[in-house]
Amino acid sequence: MVKDDFLSLTPLIIVAAMPVIMMLVIAIRRNFTVVFGLSLAGFILAFLSAYFVLPVIPHTVTPVLIFDGFSLLFTGMILLAGLLVTMLSYRYILYQESEKEEYFIMLFTGILGSLLLAASASFVTFFLGLETLSISLYVLIGYRRSREHSIEAAVKYLILASVSSAFLLFGMGLLYLDTGSLEFSGIAAALQAPDFSTPMLLAGFAMMVVGIGFKLALVPFHMWTPDIYQGAPVPVATFIATISKGAVMAFLLRFFNEIQGYSNPHFVLMITFLALMSMFAGNLLAVRQQNIKRILAYSSIANMGYLLVTLLTGSDEGMRASVFYIISYLITTLGTFGVIGILAGRESEFEEIGDYRGLFWKRPGIALVFTLALLSLAGIPITTGFVAKFYLVFTGIHSGLWLLVTGLILNSVIGLYYYLRIITMLYSTEGNTEFPRLNMADHLFLAVIALGILWLGIFPERLIQLIAYYTAL
C-alpha cells in the first residue's frame, strides 16, 4: 500500500523536488541556461513518470487525494502545458534586468498547486493547492518589475485573490458545519438528505461560487482579468489563461459531478446565469478592445462560460466534451499568447492590434500559426476549436439545454468579429514595424501548436477515445 502511495505521488514528488534542486544550483552558481535546462528536464521527467502511476490507479492516498484516470489525464495536460510555457519563457525572461533563475522556481511551485487541484478529493487539498498556485502567481505577475503596469497588476491580483480566498474559506466552513465533512464524497452523501437545502448550506455554496468564480474569471467576478493579462509577463498570462484555469476547472468538474449538482434546481439556475453572463459580457467587451492581451482576456471569460454548459449535462458524454474543450482551449491559447511572447522585445511588446499590421509579409510562418490559433478560438472548421464547440453543442442539445446552446451559438458569431479583425490586420498592407527573427526553439514551439490545432481538428477521434478511456478509470 505504501509503495502504491509513492508511485501515485511520483509526478508531484518530482515537481516538488525541482525548486529545491534549482535553489541548490543557484546557491552554487547562477546560470540561467542551466536552470532553464533543468526546468525542461523536470517537466519531461514528471510527465514520463505518469507511466508508473497507470498500474495502480484508481488509488486514494489518504482520504484527501485521489489518483484515477481523470486526475492522471489532467496531470499530463498540466505538465505538457508547463513544458511549453517554459519554452516560451526563455527569450522573454532573458530580458529581465535582475535575477532570472527564480522565475522557474515559482513556475514549478505554481504547477505543483495545479497538480494538487487536479487530484483533490477534499477541500483540504483543494485549498492547499489553490493557495500554492495563487501565491506563485502573485510573484510571477510582478516578476518584470520595470515593465509598466506589472507591479500594479500583481498588487491587484494579490488583493482580489485574498478576498476571494476569504469567501472560499468561509463557504467551506459553513459546508463543514452543516455536513460534518470536508471530503467531496461526504458532502455528496449529506446532500442526499431530504433537508439538504438549509440556509447555511446554500450560503456556504454561494460563498464558494464567489471564490471559484474569481479563479475562473466568471461574470460578475471577472473585473481583474484584463488588467492582470495586460500587466503580467506574456508567459505568466499564458499560465493563468491555460494551466491555472484548467486546474480549477478539473476540481469543479469532479466536485460538481460528485455532488450531482446538475440535478439540483438551485445549482442549475446559478450555473445557467453565470454561463450566459460570462458568454455575453466576455464577447461584447472584447469587441471594444484594441489591446490583444485584453481581447484574449475577455475571450477567456467567454470560453469559461461555454465550458459551464457541460456541468449541467449530467452525463459521461458531457464530461468528455468538457475535457476535450479544455485541451483544445489550452493548445489554442498557448498559440495566441505564444506569438505575442515570441515577438516581444526588450523595450516593447506587440500588444496593440495595429502592431501586427503586415506580419504575414515579413514573418509568414508566425502569421499563419497566429491565424490558425485565432480561427480555432472562433470555432472555424478543420481546427480543434470547431470540434470542441461542436461537441459542446451536441452534448447540450442531447441534455435539453436549449437556452445555453442558443447563447453559445450566438456568442460564437459575436466572437468571430473581433478574431477576424486581428486576422485582417495580419494580411493588410505591409507596415513599418520591425519583427524579430525566430530561433529554433520558437520554430519548434509554433510547429507543435500548429500541428496540434490541425490534427485535433481533422482527426479528433483518437483523443476522444483516449479521454473516454481515462475518465472511465
The answer to whether the beta carbons of residues 121 and 137 sit under 8 Å apart is: no
pLDDT at res. 110? 92
Query: Quick one: what percent of the chain has pLDDT higher than 70?
Result: 95
| Beta bridge pairs of residue 230 | none
Please enumerate in sequence order all residues whose Cβ is within 8 A of that of 317, keeping only pairs 6 or more positions apart, or say none: 395, 398
Is residue 429 predicted with pLDDT exceeding 90? no
Is residue 384 predicted with pLDDT exceeding 70? yes
**254, 279, 314: which is the final residue of a domain?**
254
Is residue 300 predicted with pLDDT exceeding 60? yes
Distance between CA atoms of residues 204 and 212, nearest Å: 12
> Do both 231 and 376 map to the same domain?
no
What's the pLDDT band for 43 if we cut at 50, 70, 90? very high
DSSP 383: S
Higher per-residue pLDDT: 469 or 440: 469
pLDDT at res. 278? 92
**210, 232, 254: which is the final residue of a domain?**
254
Element (DSSP H or E) covering residue 27: helix 10-28
> Do both 368 and 436 map to the same domain?
yes
> Do both 315 and 408 map to the same domain?
yes
Nearest to 308 by CA among 338, 355, 275: 275
> Do both 75 and 169 map to the same domain?
yes
Q: Mean pLDDT of all residues in the chain?
A: 86
Burial of 5 (0-12, 13-18, 19+ CB in 10 A): middle
Q: What is the mean pLDDT of residues 31-60?
A: 87
**Minimum mean pLDDT range among 13-22, 108-117, 340-349:** 340-349
Distance between CA atoms of residues 352 and 244, nearest Å: 25
pLDDT at res. 98? 65
Q: Which residue has the cell 534549482?
A: 22
Nearest to 212 by CA among 296, 258, 270, 152: 270
pLDDT at res. 1? 63
Q: Which domain holds residue 460?
A: 260-473
Amino acid present at 340: I
pLDDT at res. 372? 93
> Do both 340 and 298 map to the same domain?
yes
**195, 230, 254: which is the final residue of a domain?**
254
Q: What does the block give as the cell for 405?
A: 446552446
> Do both 220 and 345 map to the same domain?
no
pLDDT at res. 45? 93
Is residue 327 predicted with pLDDT exceeding 70? yes
The answer to whether the beta carbons of residues 350 and 416 sit under 8 Å apart is: no
pLDDT at res. 345? 62
pLDDT at res. 431? 64
Nearest to 91 by CA among 453, 333, 443: 443
**Minimum mean pLDDT range among 1-15, 219-233, 267-281, 335-349:** 335-349
Nearest to 417 by CA among 238, 279, 230, 288: 288
Question: Helix, strand, or coil here: 146?
Answer: coil
The answer to whether the beta carbons of residues 333 and 241 sit under 8 Å apart is: yes
> Do both 244 and 267 map to the same domain?
no
Q: What is the pTM of this model?
A: 0.93
Please enumerate in sequence order all residues whose Cβ is within 8 A of that of 54, keeping only pairs 6 or more positions apart, or say none: 72
Distance between CA atoms of residues 361 and 373, nearest Å: 18
Element (DSSP H or E) covering residue 60: strand 59-61
> Do both 86 and 224 map to the same domain?
yes
Distance between CA atoms of residues 92 and 266, nearest Å: 46
Burial of 45 (0-12, 13-18, 19+ CB in 10 A): middle
Is residue 297 predicted with pLDDT exceeding 80? yes
pLDDT at res. 155? 86
Q: What does the block give as the cell for 403?
A: 437556452
pLDDT at res. 143? 81
pLDDT at res. 114? 92
Angle, vertex CA 115, rays to CA 68 and CA 95, nearest 5: 150
Amino acid present at 375: L
> Do both 283 and 245 map to the same domain?
no
Is residue 2 predicted with pLDDT exceeding 80? no
Is residue 112 predicted with pLDDT exceeding 90? yes
The answer to whether the beta carbons of residues 82 and 111 sit under 8 Å apart is: yes
> Do both 28 and 70 map to the same domain?
yes
Whole-Å CA distances, 450 to 375, 415, 454: 12, 21, 6
Nearest to 462 by CA among 332, 327, 315: 327
> Do both 337 and 233 map to the same domain?
no
Is residue 347 predicted with pLDDT exceeding 60? no
Residue positions counted in the chain: 473
- Which of 219-223, 344-348, 381-385, 438-442 has the highest mean predicted lDDT (pLDDT)? 381-385
Q: What is the pLDDT of residues 434-468, one digit of tens each?
A: 777 777 778 888 888 999 999 999 999 898 988 88
> Do both 214 and 280 map to the same domain?
no
> Considering its fold, how many domains does the chain have in total?
2
Whole-Å CA distances, 329 to 114, 248, 325: 17, 14, 6
Question: Strands 65-67 and 59-61: what pairing?
Answer: antiparallel
What's the pLDDT band for 194 if we cut at 50, 70, 90? low
Q: What does the block give as the cell for 334?
A: 498557448
Distance between CA atoms of residues 26 and 386, nearest Å: 45
pLDDT at res. 346? 55
